[in-house]
């Protein structure tokens, strides 16, 4: 029996995983173009389509971006010292950059930019609501980025959401380096390449815990203590997963 469209979609979503260690094998341009073509069809608020894509393949330019974001990890390591003890282990950020097989080895970076000028196409009722205006803008960019992630998975490629490019210091330098107008926003960068590791089993909440039917939902959501327990389990999974990748 052939698979239904839903079965194929679910299999694709399950196949898509965030990868942080890559092979340096090149990727054909036509594959990169097909990945971005899927993103072009993403839904956007009121057809604003506020996205721009820059593909970085040259090693020297990829290394420049690595260098621009390197200080972010130093800051993060210091900030982890302030983490409340009840949340569990702190991040051990060793091996995130400049290690054999890490994200800097990936052959392609795709940076997704947002052009806020496109928001002039929004209805005035939205333009005058700063919160809703920003939410529609960010949601539209998120849709395009997720479409790219799913498209990459169809080619057997691994991808990483590399949000360090959003930080003020990194964003300022990257936009200047690439000749991007200062009013543009970096949404995120997709690191793209063939996986150098096999991803671990995904950590998911149970379906029955997150789905609620109808209107009688009083007392059916997680308590504060249950949420704290989940936070500790989630952090234990993430820190443990990262430790294994660092040692591999």
Most confident of 65-79, 150-164, 192-206: 150-164
Burial 74-95 (b: 16+ CB within 10 A, else e): eeeeeeeeeeeeeeeebbeeeb
Distance CA 237, CA 59 (A): 33
Percent of the chain with pLDDT over 70: 91
Mention the CATH class of domain 14-247: alpha beta
How wide is the angle at C-alpha 109 spanned by C-alphas 65 and 234, nearest 5°?
A: 90
Helix (H) or strand (E) holding 21: none
Question: Does the global pTM surpass 0.75?
Answer: yes
> What is the model's pLDDT at position 95?
45
Q: Collapsing DSSP states into helix, strand and coil, what is residue 220?
A: coil
> What is the model's pLDDT at position 79?
84
Average pLDDT, the chain: 90
Nearest of 192, 170, 195, 190 to residue 180 by alpha carbon: 170
- Mean local confidence (pLDDT), 179-191: 96
pLDDT in tens, 86-143: 887 666 655 455 455 588 999 999 999 999 999 999 999 999 999 999 999 999 999 9
Distance CA 186, CA 206 (A): 34
CA contacts within 13 A on the Cβ side of 208 = 0
Would the pLDDT of 179 be above 50?
yes
Report domain extents, the chain: 14-247
Distance CA 58, CA 231 (A): 39
Phi-psi region of 221 (alpha: psi -120 to 50; beta: other; left: phi over 0): beta
């Amino acid at each position: 029996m052939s698979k239904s469209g839903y079965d194929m979609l679910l299999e694709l979503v399950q196949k898509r995983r965030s990868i942080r260690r890559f092979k340096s094998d090149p990727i054909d341009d036509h594959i990169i173009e097909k990945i971005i073509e899927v993103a072009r069809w993403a839904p956007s608020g009121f057809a604003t389509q506020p996205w721009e894509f820059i593909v970085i393949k040259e090693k020297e330019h990829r290394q420049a971006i690595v260098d621009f974001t390197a200080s972010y990890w130093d800051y993060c390591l210091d900030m982890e010292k302030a983490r409340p003890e009840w949340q569990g282990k702190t991040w051990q950020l060793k091996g995130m950059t400049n290690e054999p097989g890490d994200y800097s080895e990936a052959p392609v970076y795709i940076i997704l930019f947002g052009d806020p000028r496109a928001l002039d196409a929004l209805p005035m009722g939205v333009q005058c609501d700063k919160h809703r205006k920003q939410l529609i803008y960010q949601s539209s960019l998120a849709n395009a980025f997720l479409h790219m992630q799913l498209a990459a998975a169809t080619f057997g490629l691994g991808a990483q959401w590399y949000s360090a490019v959003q930080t003020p210091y990194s964003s300022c330098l990257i936009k200047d380096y690439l000749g991007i107008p200062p009013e543009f926003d970096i949404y995120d960068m997709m690191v793209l390449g063939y996986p150098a590791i096999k991803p671990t089993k995904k950590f998911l909440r149970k379906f029955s815990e997150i789905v609620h039917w109808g209107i009688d939902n009083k007392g059916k959501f997680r308590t504060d203590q249950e949420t704290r327990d989940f936070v500790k389990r989630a952090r234990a999974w993430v820190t443990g997963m990262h430790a294994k990748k660092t040692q591999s």
